[in-house]
A and B are shown apart, each in its own frame.
Chain A
Amino acid sequence: MLQLENLSVRYGSFRALNDVSLHADEGELVVLLGANGAGKSSIFLTVSGLNKPAGGAIRLKGKEIGGMKPSKIVRSGVVHCPEGRKLFPKMSVMKNLTLGAYVYSRDQVGVRRSLEEVFELFPILRDKRYEAAGSLSGGQQQMVAIGRALMGRPKILLLDEPSLGLAPLVVKQVLDVVKKINENGTTVLLAEQNAFAALKIAHRAYVIEGGRIVMEGESDTLLHDENVRKAYIGA
């Protein structure tokens, strides 16, 4: 589905990503583990077109999408739900969600159907649909962000730290939904600091340090790996 080959990204003279190669196959839930600043967000921002790659290739179903405009990339089926959510705080939940389907706005029937699906996934959003997104709680805002991304009909969903700053109980709810989205057929690439919880729901994982992939493998293998446990799970 998505394939990164020797991807490099620079911010000025700082190399944020160094020859990163990874892939997510159709239907997979792949998790990226790594500390703050390891390069997880850089990967996502580059795949969704907000950053330009300095080298390497990004391929979606074999087609090169590296360096394309973000609007084109969304259209091709890669939807990025960013860290910090990046909602439109003064707009209603409804408006945030419908803008998520911006590239499909000609297809109002389809937009309404996606909206129903999102409301089914997050029933609380139906009750809050006329409230300003910025007035919701952190967990609810995260639901709006995920919902908005789903409105873009992702073939592959890039989820950057969806549990950041949320209460433990809400973290579990959010990750349960991520699992459900994946089970419904969407390929998911998930960045998480909550390594234990993330590995529990993922098929495979990559560990990133200093802009490089330092380890990869099945979730189960990593869950029992001594180094991963020490560095990211704390047990």
Chain B
Amino acid sequence: MSSIDLFFQQILNGLTLGSVYGLVALGLTLVYGILHVPNFSHGALYMVGAFVAFFLIVDLGINYWVAMIGAAAVVAILGVLSERLVFTPLRHAPPIHDKIAAIGVLLFLEAVIMAIWGAEFRRMPAPYTEMLSIGNVAAPAQRWLIIAGALLLMAALHLFLKKTIAGSTISALAQNREGASLVGIDASRVAMLTFAISGALAAVAAVLFAPINLVYPAMGHLVIMKAFVIIILGGMGSVPGAILGGMIIGFAESFGAFYISTDYKDIIAFVLLVVILSFRPNGLFTQGER
């Protein structure tokens, strides 16, 4: 393999990772608009998504795509439940209560999954196992699937937020909750919708990524840490920031792993965070306001 091919291979890896991180970060950033604190339980939702799909595919023999939809639905419902049962009662509490509650939801979900499936690592079978090459770049079909799926979903989400009225209510609530209520937007319905979308995105990301990774109760930890890095980089609550930030971390990781060392792959995101925040304390894509 020539070095230029290796270079393209790294681009592909970067895109794969960036797509997954981007999807997770998108959900996190949307919910940030509602809660105004990072939802620490988001990584657990990601993990539950993988387990639900694993159960559907391996134990029930259901088709991969149907399992993905099933996992998205289950996690969307879990997201809505956490909003109703945990975060709504805390609406007028100080923000620290939301943070503690989110960690509580995280621990709860992990414990439930451990109780049902145990702590061991599992492998989800890939739906398509062949190699697929585009130009000179060859990769397992699953990787192409991740990139195409994630980009498609991001484009759909962007259109939904920008072009539909339901989508604008999400942005409206994030930008000014009181203003949104005063034009007649039902804040609790929009909050539930946002948690559902955010949960579904996390589940889809997990189901896309799981076949080239492992399924285990702690699988959400690193992903959510990186998603935090991404939304800090991209600016809390910013949708394009989450997508671009995801790509930046994805590329930094894949190139860092290849040209520096695989051992440092997971540190790179955090080094990048420290460096960027030293120069842009408000994140990369936030404008001057507030």
Interface set of A (CB-CB < 8 Å, partner B): 48-50, 69-71, 74-75, 79-82, 85-91, 95, 99-103, 105, 134, 148-149, 151-152
Contact = CB atoms under 8 A, between A and B. Distances in A.
Interface string B254-290: 0000000000000000000000000000000000010
A90 B179 contact: no
B165 interface: yes
Contacts of B181: 49-50, 70-71
Given A88-B175, A95-B168, A48 B182 contact: yes
Q: Most chain-B Cβ atoms within 10 A of its Cβ — which of A70, A79, A87, A151?
A: A70
B205 interface: no
A180 to B, nearest CB: 22
B277 to A, nearest CB: 23
B172 interface: yes
B10 interface: no
Nearest to B173: A88
Interface stretch (B64-72, B82-90, B125-133, B183-191): B183-191
Contacts of A91: 168, 171-172, 175
Given A102-B165, A105-B165, A134-B289, A89 B183 contact: no
B99 to A, nearest CB: 24
Contacts of A81: 182
Contacts of B176: 86-89
A82 B185 contact: no
A137 to B, nearest CB: 15
B5 interface: no
A139 to B, nearest CB: 18
A88 B172 contact: yes
B145 to A, nearest CB: 34
B41 interface: no
Contacts, number: 68
Interface of B: 165, 168-169, 171-172, 175-176, 178-186, 289
A214 to B, nearest CB: 28
Q: Most chain-A Cβ atoms within 10 A of its Cβ — which of B165, B181, B183, B185?
A: B183
Contacts of A90: 171, 175
Contact of A102 (B171, B175, B184, B289): B184
B6 to A, nearest CB: 42
A88 B185 contact: no
A70 B172 contact: no
A73 B289 CA distance: 32
19 contacts: A49-B181, A50-B181, A69-B186, A70-B184, A71-B181, A74-B184, A82-B178, A86-B179, A88-B175, A89-B289, A91-B168, A99-B169, A99-B180, A99-B183, A100-B183, A101-B183, A102-B165, A134-B289, A152-B183
Nearest to A80: B182
Contacts of A101: 183
B178 A102 contact: no
Nearest to A104: B184
Nearest to A49: B181
Nearest to A86: B179
A71 B178 contact: no
A71 B171 contact: no
B179 A102 contact: no
Given A74-B184, A95-B168, A99-B172, 11 more contacts: A50-B181, A74-B183, A82-B178, A85-B179, A86-B176, A86-B182, A88-B171, A99-B183, A100-B183, A102-B169, A105-B165
Given A89-B289, A99-B168, A134-B289, A82 B175 contact: no
B184 A75 contact: yes
B175 A70 contact: no
A102 B185 contact: yes
A70 to B, nearest CB: 4
Q: Most chain-B Cβ atoms within 10 A of its Cβ — which of A86, A95, A151?
A: A86
A101 to B, nearest CB: 8
